Chain A
Amino acid sequence: MAKLGWMEKWTLRFAVVALLFLALSGFEGMLMRTQQYDINSLHSMETFLNTLRPGDIEPTTPELYYAMLTAHPIVGIYGFVYMAVFGAFYFLVPYLIKKPVKHPKLVVTNFWLQIIGVMVCWASGFFGLFNALYTLYWPLPVAFDRVPVLGSIFFMLGAAAIMVNILLFSYNIFKTVLSKNGEGSYTVGQFLRAAFGIPRLMKLFGKEDKKAVNMDYNGMPVFVVAVARGSIDTVINAVVLLSAGVLILIYGLFALFGNPLNPLAVDALIFKNVYWWGLDMVADGNALIYTAGVWYLLVPLLTGRELFGANVVKTVIMVDLLVSMGVWSHHLLGDTSQPMWMKLFSGQFITWGEYFTMGLTIFVSLMTIWKARPVKLSPPLKFVLGSMFGFVMGGIAGLIQANVGLNMVFHNTQWVVALHAHTFLLTGVGTMLFSVIYTLVPMLTTLEFKFKKLINWHLWLWLLGSVSMSYAMGMAGSKGMLRRTLYTGGEFTPYTLAAVIGGTILSAGFVVFLVNLVATLGVKNVFSILIPEKWQKKPVIEAETAK
């Protein structure tokens, strides 16, 4: 393996830890699927794990289930997805704009603070039995007769660490793009105007923005424009979630010291609107825009052809940013006190804006591949196509539930979390991140993946497993099976059994990938990536120090 540069090594570190978080999140998911099939299936494990918990508590099976359900998405999204995104973007953005990362120390901070934040949240569930779920519907997270106060406080501290870390990451990315090292330098104003697409809008109306930097028209890679615009959503998301976390933390501290505050002082509907406005930007903002950016980057790279309709996609990314700020009401279609006009416009019609932006994104990506024929279906390209399939499937499911009429029977069912969210995250985002890993590992290490056949096995097991698991639970949802509900009477057994089988196939695909990755890098190298240099007698991989 080639001698790794400092940034390359940190990128691999982020990737390896992201995969570990994916394994943890997947394991939790399988445990919960198994409990939905048979509520008594994990009693032995529960008894053993209770011996590890402090104090003399004997939590019930539902308490453990809901605590795990609270930690699961934090590990999956902020552990797996964000760690992978941090690593990939920290390498790709400087690589594409030919400037070094502005603050290398922040890269190290981001790595450790994200791990600490995610693990504190996870431990708040495992040890502290925090169970208010990621939705944090007010006033449940401060209803301390149902939610342990210490668990709540630690969960909010962990979440705050994650959000501050995300803000630091976004700051570092923006500072890198704006830095005056190397080619091109931009003021913050110029950069924000370009990120929001103001020059393109002005051009649409026949005016020229004379102060526009050469980054939105033809100078800046589309991927970097997507990262910049997606990061605006990322920042808003982090600020809103951080504010909600601080509010809950204040309630927790007052309760801890014997002066509980009145939970009903905060209006539940207003909290829900503000919280979903910010939270939704993870899914409908940065996930879609970052994904679109990765496709715009990888498809031309892998096919050797210029992106089809490159000018239009920059407008598409800008529209996606605006759309993402107005769609949150699709999470409140079940709230009869939410005004109907907001449900119709914000919840339904603006949500369809994503159908247009993602529809055009997938179209230009497929057209690029079509125009580049004959195309060699390399491993990353296969995974890119697989991820597009995931976004189409999850997107259609999302449009069905984000409908004022149909939501009446789909709201809060397994349809939402399985056929929409898990298809998006596993078949869509997960497969996309694998395409990045299959692209970056040879780029960073000059090593080709050792077992070509295992790449195909990984692809098909992952796709088959994620789709069948999500489809089985989605169909259960269409029959009335609720999400966030532990069924105790085997009401949906055939579906939950099918989901367990699907999850097992998915896990097998992941194991195949890990075997291939470790065989390619070598066991010693994998450990060398994970362990800090100063703890190693003689680093197997020598890394250059950050410049």
Chain B
Amino acid sequence: MEKAERRWLYILIVVFVIVNAVTLSTLIPWQSWQLWQKPTPSQVVNVSYDNYVITMDTPVEIKAGEYVQFSATSTDVTYGFGVFRKDNSMVFQMQVLPGRTNEITWKFDETGMYDVRSTEYSGPKHSDMVVRDAIEVR
């Protein structure tokens, strides 16, 4: 290996270490409960999917700063569970596979109303799979 190549490789290694260290750390807020601790949720929200319909008791009332677990199941095909702010920006999401219990824990910091939308294509009616004001964070 030439000297210049070796130097370039060192630069690549340094960037690799820094980027991965930063993105695995709690500088990304949800990494603290996704990777580094297993908090006990104060609430479990069950969501079911069947024939393009998302079923959940709406609006789900959640306290800001508390951990809540979303547990989703599908009876037919793969869907997605995504929580969106009113400006359509995404808070988080997960895939909802049939035959599996799909679970994700989250902690909301911002109060307000949130929409739930299927984030995975499930057939031509997929675009309509939106539950407006599905979650209220107080």
Identify the A interface with B (CB < 8 A).
60, 62-63, 66, 131, 133, 135, 137-140, 143, 146-147, 264, 267-269, 272, 308-309, 312, 332, 334-337, 340, 348-349, 352, 355-356, 359-360, 363-364, 367, 399, 403-406, 408-409, 411-413, 479-482, 484-488, 491-492
How many pairs of A and B residues are in contact by the CB < 8 Å rule?
Answer: 150
A interface footprint on B1-31 (CB within 8 Å = 1, 0 otherwise) = 1101100110010001001100110001011
B30 touches A336 (CB 8 A): no
How many B residues touch A, CB cutoff 8 Å?
51
Most central of B91, B100, B124 by chain A CB within 10 Å: B124
Q: Which residues of A contact B80 (CB under 8 A)?
A: 334, 412
Q: Which residues of B contact A406 (CB under 8 A)?
A: 23, 28
B78 touches A268 (CB 8 A): yes
Task: State the Cβ distance, B4 to closest chain A Cβ, in Å.
Answer: 6
A143 touches B5 (CB 8 A): no
B97 touches A268 (CB 8 A): yes
B127 touches A487 (CB 8 A): yes
A312 touches B89 (CB 8 A): no
A309 touches B94 (CB 8 A): no
A62 touches B125 (CB 8 A): yes
Task: State the Cβ distance, B83 to closest chain A Cβ, in Å.
Answer: 10
B34-92 interface with A by 8 A CB criterion = 34-35, 76-78, 80, 82, 84-85, 87-92
Q: What is the bound-complex CA distance between A397 and B110, given in angstroms?
A: 28
B16 touches A334 (CB 8 A): no
**Closest residue of A by beta carbon distance from B78:** A137
Q: Which residues of B contact A409 (CB under 8 A)?
A: 90-93
State whether A143 and B77 are in contact (beta carbons under 8 Å apart), knowing that A268-B98, A336-B94, A336-B103 are contacts in the complex. Answer: yes
**Can you add 9 more A-B contacts, CB < 8 Å, to A63-B124, A405-B34?**
A66-B121, A140-B77, A143-B77, A334-B119, A352-B16, A355-B16, A405-B35, A412-B119, A481-B88
Identify the B interface with A (CB < 8 A).
1-2, 4-5, 8-9, 12, 16, 19-20, 23-24, 28, 30-31, 34-35, 76-78, 80, 82, 84-85, 87-95, 97-104, 117, 119-127
What are 19 A-B contacts with C-beta separation under 8 Å? A63-B124, A139-B76, A139-B98, A140-B77, A140-B78, A143-B77, A312-B1, A334-B93, A348-B20, A359-B8, A363-B5, A405-B34, A408-B93, A409-B92, A412-B93, A479-B88, A480-B87, A485-B126, A485-B127
Q: What is the bound-complex CA distance between A430 and B43, given in angstroms?
A: 50
Q: Which residues of A contact B89 (CB under 8 A)?
A: 479-480
Interface of B is mostly: mixed
Task: State the Cβ distance, A354 to closest chain B Cβ, in Å.
Answer: 11
Q: What is the bound-complex CA distance between A485 and B123, given in angstroms?
A: 10
Leading 5 A-B pairs by shortest Cβ distance: A146-B123, A484-B121, A480-B90, A405-B28, A480-B89
A337 touches B77 (CB 8 A): no
Q: What is the bound-complex CA distance between A337 and B23, given in angstroms?
A: 21
B123 touches A137 (CB 8 A): no
Q: Which residues of A contact B76 (CB under 8 A)?
A: 139, 143
Q: Which residues of A contact B77 (CB under 8 A)?
A: 137, 139-140, 143, 146
B127 touches A352 (CB 8 A): no
CB within 8 A of B12: which of A272, A356, A408, A491?
A356
Q: What is the bound-complex CA distance between A363 and B35, given in angstroms?
A: 35
Task: State the Cβ distance, B37 to closest chain A Cβ, in Å.
Answer: 13
B5 touches A492 (CB 8 A): no
CB within 8 A of A131: which of B5, B9, B119, B124?
B124
Task: State the Cβ distance, A412 to closest chain B Cβ, in Å.
Answer: 5
CB within 8 A of A337: which of B24, B30, B84, B102?
B102
Q: What is the bound-complex CA distance between A135 and B122, given in angstroms?
A: 11
Q: Which residues of B contact A146 (CB under 8 A)?
A: 77, 122-125
Q: What is the bound-complex CA distance between A332 and B80, given in angstroms?
A: 12
**Closest residue of A by beta carbon distance from B25:** A405
Task: State the Cβ distance, A402 to closest chain B Cβ, in Å.
Answer: 11
Most central of B9, B19, B99, B125 by chain A CB within 10 Å: B99
Q: Which residues of A contact B28 (CB under 8 A)?
A: 405-406
Q: Which residues of A contact B85 (CB under 8 A)?
A: 480
Task: State the Cβ distance, A257 to closest chain B Cβ, in Å.
Answer: 22
Task: State the Cβ distance, B44 to closest chain A Cβ, in Å.
Answer: 14
A404 touches B5 (CB 8 A): no
Q: What is the bound-complex CA distance between A412 and B76, given in angstroms?
A: 20
Q: What is the bound-complex CA distance between A66 and B126, given in angstroms?
A: 10
Q: Which residues of B contact A399 (CB under 8 A)?
A: 19
Q: Which residues of B contact A481 (CB under 8 A)?
A: 88
Q: What is the bound-complex CA distance between A409 and B23, given in angstroms?
A: 13
B120 touches A137 (CB 8 A): yes
Q: Which residues of B contact A491 (CB under 8 A)?
A: 88
CB within 8 A of B124: which of A60, A332, A405?
A60
CB within 8 A of A411: which of B4, B5, B93?
B93
**Closest residue of B by beta carbon distance from A491:** B88
Q: What is the bound-complex CA distance between A405 and B82, given in angstroms?
A: 15
Q: Which residues of B contact A137 (CB under 8 A)?
A: 77-78, 120-121
